[in-house]
Amino acid sequence: MALTRKIRVYNSTDLRIETLGTCSIDAPSCTAGGASLSAAHFVDDDDRILLDDHVRSLGGGKPFYLMPSFELAGPRRKIFFDPSKTRVGIVTCGGLCPGLNDVIRGLVMEAHYRYGIRKVYGFRYGYQGFIAAHGHDVIELSPDDVSDIHEDGGSILGSSRGKQDIAQIVACLDRMGINILFVIGGDGTIRGAISIADEIQKQGLRISMVGIPKTIDNDIQYIDQSFGFETAYTKAVEAISTAHNEARSAPNGVGLVKLMGRESGFIACHAALATCHVNYVLVPEVPFKMEGPNGFLESLRQRLASRNHAVIVAAEGAGQDLMPCDQVEHDASGNRKLGDIGKFLCSQIRDYFQGINVEVNLKFIDPSYMIRGVPAIPPDSVFCWRMAQNAVHAAMAGKTRMLIGQWHGRLVHVPMKQAIVSRKKVDPDGDLWLSVLEASGQPRVFS
């Protein structure tokens, strides 16, 4: 199922990738296994993927080279850093996500075996790991250290949220002689990486800043699909199947599952489509009303009257406008703290059916933390490996302030600044949401 895109208007300059300087060093000509690389294996900076691949975008007589496009990811013939003198740092930030260890492993293996880099360091617990006051040890990572970490969930480096002193972070990088920093995290982490890159430039240092976007919600722009997303909705299917079994095993049974998705309902949509057991999907992008003849509760009553059971999937950011909130609070990363849509729906459903004297058997399941910490499934592991490989290629070529993303099915270089301009969301008028409506049978609106 293709994800719906809304294309922003950019010119070619907006999508230009910054570099640290001229690449004058020949890239290794052989793989770790001794296989010789041919010209076909290398990528040039003028190999590009169009931002908008619709035929209509080709109109207007504009030359192809002026159309907005992304650099294609891949190994370059010439590189910026001398592998024998290069030191690499890796940090993971934000919440956990399946595939973090796969990415760490891929970065270490590619740096070591493809480029011969012997000094790779892991910074513990996110950006805290650079700050001496937190007391977190820096660990050296070798292929032996990471050989089987992809079999486990979580991150061997740990993670944290919250801002840290940018000057101290850069001082740590400079003191340790780090030439490349790989940052694995979401939009808040990327904003931090941009600030770090600004300070690096201000101090006249040559340190490459390359990101691997980590968003279990799949909500970063210009990323067809983020790593961990496929694992997340695959594991969510298990919770939905359990909720379905509970619901159909009791009179007027209702199974309610709350899934991740603060501002984007991709996990809820894909998990619902994968099971075909879901009757209602509630996402942040589509407002709904609880009360009234066309409201959610009345629709649920009609469903129970006709079929005797129902399954509801709610993304965590759904229905926030319906819940009372005295004041807006934020977490350490600056994200707005959400009301609990699961508890809210449970209360509303129970009160409504009690008020009309109808028995309802409601079971609520929240598998969020069980999903976040599981190992990646094989398709995600493959994706993590390929993203890590291409992140190393980009960094060694002196690329900076950029992410590795997948666009139109190809791995590309995405400027950090453009990736966080806005969040990717489910389009209420797009084909994904239409598929959800058709599969669930729910009304287009609850009003």
Active site residue 380: no
Whether 91 and 97 have beta carbons less than 8 Å apart is answered as no
Whether 233 and 270 have beta carbons less than 8 Å apart is answered as yes
Torsion of CA 346, 349, 353, 354, to 10 degrees: 40
Burial class of 114 by CB neighbour count within 10 A (0 to 12, 13 to 18, 19+): buried
Helix (H, G, I), strand (E, B) or coil at 214: coil
Cα–Cα distances in angstroms (integers) from residue 372 to residues 210, 214, 230, 234, 236, in the given order: 24, 12, 12, 12, 10
Angle at 309 between CA 305 and CA 312, to 5 degrees: 115
Q: Cβ atoms within 10 A of the Cβ of 200, count? A: 23
**Which has the closest alpha carbon to 381: 267, 234, 271, 228?**
228
Whether 202 and 81 have beta carbons less than 8 Å apart is answered as no
Residues shown for the chain: 447
Spatial distance between the Cα atoms of 225 and 218, rounded to a whole number of angstroms: 6
110 Cα distance to chain centroid? 22
Helix (H, G, I), strand (E, B) or coil at 405: strand
Spatial distance between the Cα atoms of 307 and 294, rounded to a whole number of angstroms: 18
Whether 423 and 38 have beta carbons less than 8 Å apart is answered as no
Q: Which of 102, 217, 219, 366 is catalytic?
A: 217
Residue type, 178: I
**Which has the closest alpha carbon to 157: 135, 140, 134?**
140
Six token digits for residue 402: 């950029």
Q: Which residues carry out catalysis?
A: 217
